[in-house]
Amino acid sequence: MREILAATGSTDLLRRPFGSLLTAMVTPFTAAGEVDLDAAAALAAGLVDGGSDGLVVCGTAGEASTLEDQEKEDLIRVVKETVGNQASIVAGTGTNCTARSISMARRAARAGADGQLVVTPYYSKPTQAGVAEHFTRIAEETDLPVMLYDIPGRAGIAISTVTMKRLAENARIVALKDAKADFSATTVVLAETDLAVYAGDDALALPWLAAGASGLVSVSAHAAPGAFRQLVDAVHCGNLALARRLHFELAPLVRAVMDHIPAATAAKHILHRQQRLAGSFVRSPLTEPTGSEARNLAAEVAGTAWALN
């Protein structure tokens, strides 16, 4: 991937291999708990029309841990067929099993994905040598470029900076979704590797972008893709005054999505209230918001452009 982009002479493309605003899509379900492919297609189209130039399908917000592999493949295919070349489709392929992740990577490639998001293997807490082997083996199995996903709060372990630098030498590992909230470590990755770093924490989008991140992978962007598009573009154009204003305006929405209940649940509830999803159905062990939880979300965005009526 790097060689192909470098050959075009476009350093801008090199630093943004999957776009600059990637919405981490929720997975719509029917009331019966089935994947709603028609709703997923409509949601994808709306997000791209709103300003997303990339979509993450079957990631954390997509409730990947409750999806069967065939359901994931079907979702990736439908979203890709819907948006075509208007946006990059990054498929969540990573699990805590290397063999299953490889199988999912092959499925994602078959379904037309443009890249794959591979999370640190969770729960089993391998050594850094094991982490490096896991990512390397997955990267070797398809031509899909890899976005590493560093999220120790969920995985239980971080990808160390030393391991990150080693993985960055692999031509198929081109990007990092950084949800570690360690600015010092991320600075080393930005300064000493050519990985395209994507902010993976909505609340930290502005400082990460200002430090040179290529873009943002966002759950909150479901509710306000246009405003997040403006924020990313403002930073990349050097208009930090506008970026700061947008950051403060978006902060209540980010808190509503990220701080109260699981982000997938919150995002679906807000989308339903915005009449952009027919229902806010989630799969167990997630549950729809209780009355008090829904009121907390509404209170967070009351008086903003994203107030829930």
Write phi, then psi, for 285 (nearest 5 degrees): -85, 0
Confirm if 105 and 142 have CB atoms less than 8 A apart.
yes
What is the rounded distance in angstroms from the CA atom of residue 209 to the CA atom of residue 217?
A: 11
- How far apart (Å, rounded) are the C-alpha atoms in residues 98 and 125? 13
Catalytic residue flag (residue 72): no
What span, in angstroms and rounded, lies between the C-alpha atoms of 23 and 16?
15
φ/ψ of 261, rounded to 5, equals -135, 170
Torsion angle of C-alpha atoms 155, 231, 23, 149, degrees rounded to 10 = -20
Residue among 72, 149, 198, 268 flagged as catalytic:
149
β-bridge partners, 89: 55
Pull the structure tokens for residue 235.
């930073």
**Is 80 a known active-site residue?**
no
Catalytic residue among 177, 180, 198, 268: 177
DSSP annotation of 86 reads G
Which residue type does 207 have?
Answer: P
Task: List, by residue number, the catalytic residues.
Answer: 149, 177
